Structure 1
Amino acid sequence: MATISRTVQWTLLTNVDEALAVLTPAVEQAQFTMTSLTPNEIAIDVPRSLRSNQWAAKIHGTIAADAEKTHIEWRVDGLGNKHYKHLIKISEGLPEGLLDDHGIQEAASHVALRIFGRKEIAHLANVLDRGETVKAIGVGRFENKAGIAAATDLRLLFLEKSIGSEDLTTFSIGAIQAIDLKKALGGETLTINHSGTKATITTLGHGQGDSLIRAVRAAQNTPRPEQASSAPTVDVIGQLERLAELHAKGILTESEFLAQKERLLSS
């Protein structure tokens, strides 16, 4: 059996020192071994456990500080398919509210989840990017598989997580050309036109399709930082140099030069 690697992004809502202080007992509670802990890196050994049907694994975390936040990029290397479960076990030992959940619980609180959807909800954070925020959640079917539909500020995704398998389908917000909603007694259906192809998410709970489509359209109408319009930047130094040249050549008088210089500096 080949070794598999999985990567997960965490953000702890505290500084590095406090983050490191709470990680050690959380790792111990999970019955793992912390082999290295520095302000930059973490190394953890996961033991083989026949009782828990758990393969041995190596977890490596790279730390990046950001003001009062601590970002950790985890890489889990091991056999089997419980890579994410190892990190969930560690997260269960952290103080409540310390780990940024990407807005998942807030979005889920507005949805009447079916029982089977709860394992996808617990797993959803593992497939999100750093800084990505969930705006709406629904439970439905995609390509005849039951799972979680989630609209974030970056994409619409469908996650099916079952024993021994995981399917993640993503529709980026920028590439969604149209999204339509159909309501029926059996539930709501989203039809997504994405990069020239069509996909449907069916049997969503009543109101869930509405929430998802509103979240997608809101994200489409919110400029991303790279899309935001920006005012032309003023090359103040270059313009001052040109004013000085004009003044030196006698084209601008002393008063005109000083007035133009003051205008540039004040802007």
Structure 2
Amino acid sequence: MVTILRTVHWTVLPHAGDPITLLQAAVEQTDFSVTSSTPTSIVIDVPRAMMKNRWAATITGMLSPHDGSTDIEWTIDGLGNKHYEHMVTIAEGMPEGSLDDHGIPEAVSKIALKVFGRKEIRHLANVLDRGEFVSAIGVGNLGGKMGIVALTDRRLLFLEKSIGSENLVEFSLASIGALSLGKKMGGETLTITHSGTTATITTLGHGQGDGIARKFRELKAQPAAERPAAAPAADPIAQIERLAELRDKGILSEDEFQGQKTQLLSGL
């Protein structure tokens, strides 16, 4: 089985306290362990757990200040398909309100998400970019799979319900030509016209499709200059340089460094 490398972005808010202290306390509530930490980095070991159907993984967090907050760029390196679930586990140990919630709680409060629980909502936060804001949310079916439908200020996302699946479908706002609302016996539908093709999300709850469609029209009506810019993609070379610093400090072994370096370069 090939190891998988995933990246997750967190923002620790200014009032929360020292991020490293908060993270260490959160990890202590799990069966994970902090193997090393500095003011700007932390490495977390996720042990193999056969009873939990979990492979071992190494989670590396690089911290940097940003507008009074602290941005954390996480790299999760391991086998299996529980990379995001590892991050949900850590997030559950963080104090309430210490992390940027991307507007998710407010969006959820406007509808009934009975199908989903706390972990799935936290899972959504792990696939968002720094500063990305959720405007509307719902639960629907795409391609025979149930998932969270979220409209952000940058894209429309469909995140499959199962955390283990890590299946994400996304449409950038710029690529969506139209978002059409419909109604069927099973609920509301959204038909997305993008790049010359269409995709339809079905079985949305009452008012969920309408809320997403209305927010989409509002966002598209904004002048281009007023729309939030998409977060820049993580620079693989910069990531390799930061990983090299961790290796030089003895935080990562040479084999761990070379393995993560190879995966980052393969994406260029």
TM superposition score normalised by structure 1? 0.79
**1:44 Cα offset (Å):** 1.2
Q: Take 2:120 and 2:60, find their aligned partners in 1: how far apart are those partners?
A: 24
Asked whether the equivalents of residues 17 and 39 of structure 1 are also in contact (C-alpha less than 8 Å), the reply is no
2:143 counterpart letter in structure 1: E
Superposed, 1:109-128 pairs within 5 Å as 109-116=109-116, 119-128=119-128
Report the more deviating stretch, 48-57 or 205-214: 48-57
Q: Take 2:174 and 2:186, find their aligned partners in 1: how far apart are those partners?
A: 30
Q: Take 1:22 and 1:219, find their aligned partners in 2: how far apart are those partners?
A: 36
Count of residues in correspondence between the two structures: 228
Greater radius of gyration (CA): 1
1:117–1:210 CA distance, 2 compared to 1 (3 A): farther
2:211 counterpart letter in structure 1: S
1:114–1:53 CA distance, 2 compared to 1 (3 A): same
1:70 counterpart letter in structure 2: T
User: What SS class does the counterpart of residue 101 from structure 1 fall into?
Assistant: coil
Asked whether the equivalents of residues 114 and 139 of structure 1 are also in contact (C-alpha less than 8 Å), the reply is no
**1:13 Cα offset (Å):** 0.5
Among the aligned pairs, what percent are the same residue? Answer: 59
Root mean square deviation of aligned Cα: 2.1
Partner in structure 2 of residue 45 of structure 1: 45
TM superposition score normalised by structure 2? 0.78
Q: Take 1:181 and 1:112, find their aligned partners in 2: how far apart are those partners?
A: 19
Partner in structure 2 of residue 137 of structure 1: 137
Gap runs ≥5 in structure 2:
229-268
1:217–1:114 CA distance, 2 compared to 1 (3 A): same
Q: Take 2:110 and 2:17, find their aligned partners in 1: how far apart are those partners?
A: 35
Q: Take 1:79 and 1:186, find their aligned partners in 2: how far apart are those partners?
A: 38
Q: Take 1:58 and 1:163, find their aligned partners in 2: how far apart are those partners?
A: 18
Q: Take 2:143 and 2:52, find their aligned partners in 1: how far apart are those partners?
A: 32
Partner in structure 2 of residue 4 of structure 1: 4
Q: Take 1:223 and 1:23, find their aligned partners in 2: how far apart are those partners?
A: 40
Q: Take 2:106 and 2:223, find their aligned partners in 1: how far apart are those partners?
A: 23
Q: Take 1:187 and 1:193, find their aligned partners in 2: how far apart are those partners?
A: 20
Partner in structure 2 of residue 13 of structure 1: 13
2:11 counterpart letter in structure 1: T
1:62–1:225 CA distance, 2 compared to 1 (3 A): farther
Gap runs ≥5 in structure 1:
229-267
